[in-house]
Amino acid sequence: MNNLFCRIKQAYKDPKQKWNGIGFISFTFAFGFFINFVGLLLKLFVPINIVMIFFFLNIFLSAMRSSVQVYHEPAKLKNKLIRELLHISIIVFLGILPALGIY
């Protein structure tokens, strides 16, 4: 919801970069929490191997999408690298480690 609000504000406000940053952070956290929710819910019904495949497949596909975007727009490398590191750390610390019972 916050991401949608930021995108609307971006359309008619002058400092678009500020709203873009807030939208970027809120989307990354929301998407990471959603992936973790689904992965931890899967843990209740399927073996841990399937859950780990789910988590690593999401990390891999997200990294592939970002690498294609960086290939076409090399200026976005720093932004995509930060987004991917944040996304991976959210999945690892709030999804994979609790699913393994470590955290």
Nearest to 38 by CA among 85, 96, 89: 96
- Output the pLDDT for position 39: 96
Structure tokens at 86: 């944040």
pTM equals: 0.81
Query: What is the tens place of the pLDDT at every residue in 47-103?
Result: 999 999 999 999 999 899 889 988 998 988 888 898 899 999 999 999 999 999 997
Check: CB of residue 90 under 8 Å from CB of residue 28: yes
Nearby residues of 33 by Cβ (< 8 Å), 6 or more positions away: 90, 94
Calculate helix-pair angle for 16-43, 48-72, nearest 10 degrees. 160
Query: What is the tens place of the pLDDT at every residue in 38-57?
Result: 999 999 999 999 999 999 99
- Output the pLDDT for position 64: 92
Structure tokens at 10: 């971006």
